[in-house]
Amino acid sequence: MTTKISLLFYLRKSKVNSQGLMPIYQRITIEGERFDSSTGHFIDELKWSPESGKIKGNSEEARSINGRLDLLKAKVYEIEKRLFMSETKINFENFKNEYQDKKIRERYLVPIFVEHNRKIKELVGQEYAPGTLERYETSLKHTKNFIFWKYNITDINIEKIDHSFITEYEFYLRSVRKCANNTAVKYIKNFHKIINQCLANGWLNKDPFANYKSKVKEVIREFLTEKEIETIFNKRFASERLELVRDIFIFSCFTGLAYIDVKQLTLDNISLGIDGDKWIFKNRQKTDTASKIPVLPVAQEIINKYVQHPVCKNENRLLPILSNQKMNAYLKEIADVCKINKDLTFHIARHTFATTVTLSNGVPLETVSKMLGHTNLKTTQHYAKILDKKISEDMMILKSKFASKEQNYKKFGTA
């Protein structure tokens, strides 16, 4: 029992009765919060010992009332023990409800989840992206459907959520919903956040995730090779629509910006950097971390091409980007026309910047991480793992260094 509970008996002088007697009150303090209640006994102030919290002497009145106070003290310790043995969290709310014989309020999962999502909705555009709200709404839908599928009920008391609930939920996501490993793990992670809120509020006594483990499988992310970039860049398109999509896709390949960040770009995001050249300064929509990217010649060429475009002039945009859905649909046409056998999406441009454009050309990992606006270097390291070409080139440099020093080495055993 780590929760500190203190007990005090005292005279409440403000409640003196018509006979001049003062009531004895009991004060219970738990984690800095306290509640007071009357013992039902009144005595003369002169008979009271503040130090011991009892009546002085050994009179019949003293023995009777002091005995009653001892019983009240024993009740406090008995409740503390009962809560501990039932593995109920010993906090102010639970203790007070037990002491006053009140039934602890039952809490159900769905309203807690709904309230969580409502707060996220209120903060969309400030602390959260619209996609975050969408993911949690989908998570709520899957959770509700699972509860009905498994228990044939529409909601569940959070006290009944245990390790078995979580493993069954994961099984449901994988089998019934046909979710891939990483998708299932993400939905469980969203659900875990709701459980953590319940634990933090003292509504749950045990963490149902205590012995649960899941692992995100590393996904090999698609990216374009230098030759594929050149093929797309040099391709002549009969359609202005495909030419526009190609240009903005190439712009992302040479800046590393995600779709939403390209869409939000204005001329105000272009400023002179520390080297006196033009840089893009943009906080990522997803994480609100700063991206600072020098504008490469190819990217500048595309910016210049569309500076007089009506959408750019009228809507204060750097580039006249289409919707993400249309961009991805047209990129599939571009892949077909260019005979690139990859599922081309706009986000592949970001991966291409990280791999082919920067890391493959010797840009340090830390620098790439800063430009991408990653909050963790491990996220950027994922790209470095898939660059066999870079490994080969680095080892060739090492081999050449050893070759130049070959005369300093003798054959084994000849010394």
Query: Tens digits of per-residue pLDDT, 349-393?
Result: 988 998 888 888 888 888 888 888 877 767 676 676 555 556 666
The total number of residues shown for the chain amounts to: 415
Phi and psi (nearest 5°) for 317? -115, 150
> What is the per-residue pLDDT for 415?
47
Q: What one-letter code names the amino acid at 194?
A: I
| Whole-angstrom distance, CA of residue 320 vs CA of residue 78 | 71
Question: Which residue's structure tokens are 């919290």?
Answer: 53
> What is the per-residue pLDDT for 1?
47
The residues, ordered by sequence, that sit 6+ positions from 218 with a Cβ below 8 Å of its Cβ are 382
pLDDT in tens, 307-338: 999 999 899 899 999 998 999 999 999 999 99
CA distances from residue 304 to 78, 247, 317 in whole angstroms, order as listed: 78, 11, 13
Query: Which of 13-27, 65-79, 101-115, 236-250 is least confident?
Result: 101-115
- Assess contact for 43 and 24: CB atoms under 8 A: yes
| Whole-angstrom distance, CA of residue 254 vs CA of residue 353 | 6
| Whole-angstrom distance, CA of residue 380 vs CA of residue 363 | 12
> What is the per-residue pLDDT for 306?
92
> What is the per-residue pLDDT for 390?
60
Q: Give all domains of the chain, ordered by start, each with its CATH number.
A: 5-99 (no CATH), 109-200 (1.10.150), 226-388 (1.10.443.10)
Q: Which of 299, 261, 255, 290 is nearest to 370 (CA)?
A: 290
Task: Report the 10 Å Cβ neighbour count for 303.
Answer: 20
The first and second tokens of residue 415, run together, are 């010394």
Sign of the CA dihedral with 336 first, then 338, 339, and 345 last: negative
pLDDT in tens, 173-185: 999 999 999 899 9
CA 273, chain centre distance (Å): 32
| Whole-angstrom distance, CA of residue 198 vs CA of residue 192 | 10
| Whole-angstrom distance, CA of residue 216 vs CA of residue 186 | 8
The residues, ordered by sequence, that sit 6+ positions from 332 with a Cβ below 8 Å of its Cβ are 343, 344
Q: Which of 204, 207, 189 is nearest to 107 (CA)?
A: 204
Task: Report the 10 Å Cβ neighbour count for 388.
Answer: 8
Model confidence at 102, pLDDT cuts 50, 70, 90, reads: low
| Whole-angstrom distance, CA of residue 115 vs CA of residue 93 | 21
Q: What one-letter code names the amino acid at 199?
A: L
Q: How does the average pLDDT of the chain come out, rounded?
A: 86
Q: Has residue 287 got a pLDDT over 80? A: no
**Most confidently modeled of 110-114, 275-279, 283-287?**
110-114
| Whole-angstrom distance, CA of residue 237 vs CA of residue 231 | 12
pTM given for the model: 0.56
Residues pairing with 23 in the sheet: 42
- Assess contact for 92 and 47: CB atoms under 8 A: no
The distance between the two most distant Cα atoms of the chain, rounded to a whole number of Å, is 113
> What is the per-residue pLDDT for 83?
79
User: Which phi-psi region, left, alpha or beta, contains residue 38 (left: φ > 0; alpha: ψ -120 to 50)?
Assistant: beta
Task: Report the 10 Å Cβ neighbour count for 36.
Answer: 12
Cα-only R_g, the chain: 34
Q: Which of 301, 302, 282 is nearest to 290 (CA)?
A: 282
Q: Which of 158, 164, 143 is nearest to 109 (CA)?
A: 158
Sign of the CA dihedral with 60 first, then 65, 69, and 71 last: positive
Q: What is the mean pLDDT of residues 1-17?
A: 84
